[in-house]
Amino acid sequence: MIKGLGAFQRGAFEQAVMDWREAVKLFEKEGKSNKQREALTLLAQAYQYIGQYNEALKSLKSALILAEKSGDRTQIASVLGSLGNLHITLGPPDKAFQYLNEGLSMAKELGDPGLSANYLE
């Protein structure tokens, strides 16, 4: 994870993809689904920076499944926001609106002003 973060911060997005894909596999093997979800979300960001939007979408959908299995509504709301932002680029607009609206509603229900603010930027 740390290697991927360093690569991402240097602008070496392809290296970040490789590092975070490895982290996803490692966390899956170790049964650390929360860390796996985190790695998938970061991986999606790196994919977006190199224009691989469909790979980013696959990563975020996998992250959403893990977040839903955990039952952690904060994680779910966070991934929904990422999916919504990705669909702003990918389309269709109604899909982006659906994810963003669902995530914002969840963030408001949780009473998390920081998470809510992410949707209102």
Cβ count within 10 A of residue 64: 21
pLDDT > 70: what percent of the chain? 98
Asked which of 29-38, 43-52, 84-93 is least confident by mean pLDDT, the reply is 84-93
Q: pTM of whole model > 0.75? A: yes
Q: Which 3 state secondary structure label does DSSP give 63?
A: helix
Per-residue pLDDT for 37 more than 90?
A: yes
Per-residue pLDDT for 116 more than 90?
A: no
Class of domain 1-71 as given by CATH: mainly alpha
Per domain, the residue ranges of the chain are 1-71, 72-121
Res 95: pLDDT: 93
Res 120: pLDDT: 63
Res 115: pLDDT: 79
Res 119: pLDDT: 67
**Confidence category of residue 7, pLDDT binned at 50, 70, 90:** very high
Per-residue pLDDT for 93 more than 80?
A: yes
